[in-house]
Amino acid sequence: MRYPFLLILAVYTASANATELTFELPDNEKQCFYEDLEQGAKFDIDFQVIAGGNYDVDCFVTDPLNNMLYQERKKQYDSFSHTTTMKGVYKVCFSNEFSTFSHKTVYLDFRTGEDDRLMPDMNGVTALTQMESACLSIHEILKVVSDSQTWYRLREAQDRIRAEDLSERVHFWSIGETIILFVVCIGQVLMLKSFFSEKKANVATST
């Protein structure tokens, strides 16, 4: 099943500047994303190919001077973290130029900055109360749950696309088998008809 080109902005989080998006990468094409970052800013990238071909894609990240920070070829999924050393526009590119016919659907999670502290007044000297400890524990558990939900959404999307592709192939295979069955049936009818025609001709000749 083919999808039109889509670029869906999925999530913005309040604590850190985070963007999750899913896009289609046609064959023999490259798609780049740009982010203007300050010096000393930390950013994290997670990506995964969820549909198309062998589920692989080329990925590279460059700094404002076009220096290569990260480069991997034919990766199904990966993560990358970096702290900027200069202010400027950083570029994240995904390439499917090595593929001649397979479209890819890619998930990208781009996060910049640090998470806000759950309790701004908290420091390492002050002991936490039982309520504060419970809040921190719940906060960490919710972060794990959020990451798990993202992982399950990706697996569900990947499995759904595979199932739809398999269903489409089975559909066309069934149509082909049906056509072959009709051709065989018609051929058998014509063959039997020719036997009777030859028998009638032989009888007429003998009489």
Cβ neighbours of residue 34 under 8 Å, at least 6 residues apart?
Answer: 89, 90, 91, 92
HEC string for 84-148: CCCCEEEEEEEECCCCCCCCEEEEEEEEECCCCCCCCCCCCCCCCCHHHHHHHHHHHHHHHHHHH
Domain ranges of the chain: 18-114, 129-196
Q: What pTM was computed for the model?
A: 0.61
- CATH fold of 18-114 reads Jelly Rolls (2.60.120)
| pLDDT in the model for residue 111 | 86
**100 versus 36: which is more confidently predicted?**
36
**10 versus 62: which is more confidently predicted?**
62
Average pLDDT for residues 5-25, to the nearest whole number?
56
Highest mean pLDDT out of 48-57, 130-139, 149-158, 194-203: 48-57
Cβ neighbours of residue 168 under 8 Å, at least 6 residues apart?
Answer: 1
* Coil vs helix vs strand at 180: helix
pLDDT at 152 over 70: yes
